[in-house]
Amino acid sequence: MKIERCVCTQRPFAGLLEQARADGLSLRQLAETTGASACCTMCGPYLRRCYRTGQTVFTQLLDQDDEPPTSPRDTTPHRS
């Protein structure tokens, strides 16, 4: 099983990361702008990890506790 998008917004993590990079969005701004992780919140740990590490496809289930919550330090998306 591959997890690669926010189901609620139908936005792939890869596209969300690209938008954050292009628009210079913090993690909080990315969520506010796109709605990803703001509806059911299930994709929150994936989006946070994506933003911080650049990983856009996941093969393991993540719980909310598997990735630290959004913080004011999340101002710059990972660049490969």
Residue 43 binds to ligand FES (criterion: CB under 6 A): yes
Residue 61 as a binder of ligand FES (CB under 6 A): the answer is no
**Can you point out the beta strands (E) in the chain?**
5-6, 11-12
Q: How near is the Cβ of 49 to ligand FES at its closest, in Å? A: 13
Q: Which of residues 14 and 38 has its CB atom nearest to ligand FES in the complex?
A: 38
Shortest Cβ 8–ligand FES spacing (Å): 3
Question: Exposed, middle or buried: residue 42 (CB in 10 Å: 0-12, 13-18, 19+)?
Answer: middle
| Block residue for tokens 């994506």 | 50
